[in-house]
Amino acid sequence: MNPLIELEKRIGTNFKKRDLLEEALTHRSYLNENSEYKYGNNERLEFLGDAVLELIVTDELIHRFPEKEEGDLTAYRAALVNTKMLAKVADEAGITEKIKVSKGEAKEFDKARGRESISADAVEAVIGAIYLDSGFAAAKKFIFDFVLPNINKILAVGAKDAKSLIQEIAQERFKVTPTYKVLKEIGPAHDRTFEVGLYFGGELKARGDGNSKQEAETSAAEKVLKDLKE
Active site residues: 50, 124
Contact 45, 24 (CB under 8 A): yes
Output the CA torsion sign for 159, 63, 136, 54: negative
Contact 165, 221 (CB under 8 A): yes
**At a CB cut-off of 8 Å and minimum separation 6, what does 162 contact?**
71, 74, 75, 78, 218, 221, 222, 225
Contact 28, 121 (CB under 8 A): no
Identify the CA nearest to 146 among candidates 96, 86, 79: 86
Residue 70's Cβ-count burial label (10 Å; 0-12, 13-18, 19+) is exposed
Alpha helix positions (H), 110-150: 112-134, 136-146
Look up residue 94 and give its amino acid. G
Termini Cα distance of the chain: 35
